[in-house]
Amino acid sequence: MSVPERSSEASDLRMRVVIAGGGTGGHVIPALCVAEALRERGAEVVFFGSESGLERALVPEAGFELHALPLAGLAGGPVRRARALVLFARAVVRCRSLLGRLRPGAVLGVGGYASAPAVAAARSLGISTFIHEQNSVPGKVNRAAGRLVREVLVAFPDAARRFGRSVRAVHVGMPTRRQLFQATREEALRRLGLEPPVVLVFGGSGGALNINLAAAEAFGESTPYSVVQIAGRRDFPRLSTRNPRHRILEYAGNIWDYLAAADVVVIRGGAGSLFDVAAVGRAAIVVPYPHHRDDQQLLNARYFVERGAAELLPDREVDAKTLRARVEELLGDDEGRRALASSMRSLATPRAAEEVAGRMLAAGREGTG
C-alpha cells in the first residue's frame, strides 16, 4: 500500500503548478488557499496575475512567486476595449512563453484578468487546465473557457448546471482560509477587546458605499451593542462615528476574529464573504451588490437564504433606519439567530482547497490535458 502512495508524493514534490487570475479578494483569497494546499503536498506554485490586482500585494506576502502582466478590463468605450484586447493578446503570448519555460503539470484559472490568457495559453500547449468558478452564476469568460478545460470546479452546486452539458463541472466548494474554522468567540472577543453582543458590517474586499453610509449613520450615535464596520480603502477616509462602541476599520487581515466575535453580520453577496461567514457559522443579513448585469451576488445569496442560512436585505431598502431595525430584530431573536448560524455552518466547504489541489496534482501526474 505504501509504495504507490509514496511514489505519488514523490512526484508531487517535483511538480510545478501555475495559478492564474486575481483582481479582487474574491478571486485572490481562494487562489491562495489552493496554493497553500498544493505547497503542503510538496508542489511548487507559481502565480500569473495582473499588475493592478490585489494579488500584487497578497501573493508575494504569502511567499509565492508572481508574474504580474499588464492587463485591463473590457468595459468602457471602443478605445479602452481595443487596448484591453491588445493587452490580452500580448498576455497569451507571454503566458505561452512562461509556461513553456516553467513546464507546469497543471494550470488553474481562478477568474480575473490574468485567468483567461493563461488558460488559453496552457490549452494550446496541451497542459492539464482547470477553472475554479467562485460564483453561482458563471461569468461570460469562464463560460467560454469552460469548454476548453479539463474540469471546471465550482463553489456553488447551482453553477455546475449553469455551465451546460458540454462542460465537465464538478462541485468542490469554496476554498476558505483555515483560521476561519478554528476561531472561537471567547478568544476573539478577548483578543479584539470587544464587549458582546457584536455586530459586524463589511462590504467585501473593496467595501460598499451604500452600506457604509447607512451603517455610519445607523450606529454613529449610541448603541447597546458593539459595532465593527470594515469600510474598505475607498470609503474609510470619509466615515466617522461619535459612538464609543462603534469601530470603523479600513481592512481586517484577521477577519476570522471579527467574524468569530460577531452575533450578527451584515455583508454583501460576494462568494468569499458568504463562505467565510459559513465557515465561522454566524447569522447573516446579506445585501447583494445590485449593479452586476447577471445579478451574481443575488444568486449567491439566494443559495444561502433558500436554505434558511441567511436573511436577504435588498440594496434599495438599505438606509440607516432599516439597517438598524433589521440588525436589532435579529439581535433580539436568540433562537432565530441560532438557527441561521447553524444552517450557515452546515453549508461551509472546509475541504474545497484540498479537493482542488488533489485534482490538479492527479492530472499533473497523469500528464494529459
Ligand X SMILES: CC(=O)N[C@H]1[C@@H](OP(=O)(O)OP(=O)(O)OC[C@H]2O[C@@H](n3ccc(=O)[nH]c3=O)[C@H](O)[C@@H]2O)O[C@H](CO)[C@@H](O)[C@@H]1O
Q: How far is the CB of 24 from ligand X (least distance, A)?
A: 3
Candidate segments 26-34, 37-45, 55-63, 94-102, binder of ligand X by CB under 6 A: 26-34
Residue 13 near residue 365 (C-beta atoms within 8 A)? no
- In angstroms, rounded to a whole number, what is the distance separating the alpha carbons of residues 300 and 138? 11
- In angstroms, rounded to a whole number, what is the distance separating the alpha carbons of residues 74 and 85? 8
* 304 part of the interface to ligand X, by CB under 6 A: no
Q: Report which of 3, 6, 63 is spatially closest to residue 38, judged by C-alpha positions.
A: 63
**What is the x/- site pattern for ligand X, positions 225-264, by CB under 6 A?**
-----x--------------------xx--x---------
* β partners of residue 171: 154
* 202 part of the interface to ligand X, by CB under 6 A: yes
- For 61-98, the three-class secondary structure string (H helix, E strand, C coil) is HCCCEEEEECCCCCCCCHHHHHHHHHHHHHHHHHHHHH
Sign, CA dihedral 305-54-134-293, equals positive
- In angstroms, rounded to a whole number, what is the distance separating the alpha carbons of residues 28 and 57? 10
* 271 part of the interface to ligand X, by CB under 6 A: yes
**What is the x/- site pattern for ligand X, positions 278-297, by CB under 6 A?**
-----------x------xx
* 135 part of the interface to ligand X, by CB under 6 A: yes
Q: Report which of 12, 65, 7 is spatially closest to residue 38, judged by C-alpha positions.
A: 12
Site size toward ligand X, by CB under 6 A: 25
Among 18, 29, 153, 214, binds ligand X (CB under 6 A): 29
In the numeric block, which cell numbers belong to residue 184?
Answer: 472561537
Query: Is 157 in a helix, a strand, or coil?
Result: helix
Among 15, 18, 22, 27, binds ligand X (CB under 6 A): 27
Please say which residue, 271 or 344, places its beta carbon nearer to ligand X.
Answer: 271
Is 210 marked as binding a ligand?
no
- In angstroms, rounded to a whole number, what is the distance separating the alpha carbons of residues 107 and 121? 10
* 205 part of the interface to ligand X, by CB under 6 A: yes
Which positions make up the binding site? 24-26, 135, 177, 205, 297
Residues that bind ligand X in the complex, under the rule CB under 6 A: 24-27, 29, 111, 134-135, 202, 204-206, 230, 251-252, 255, 270-273, 276, 289, 296-297, 300
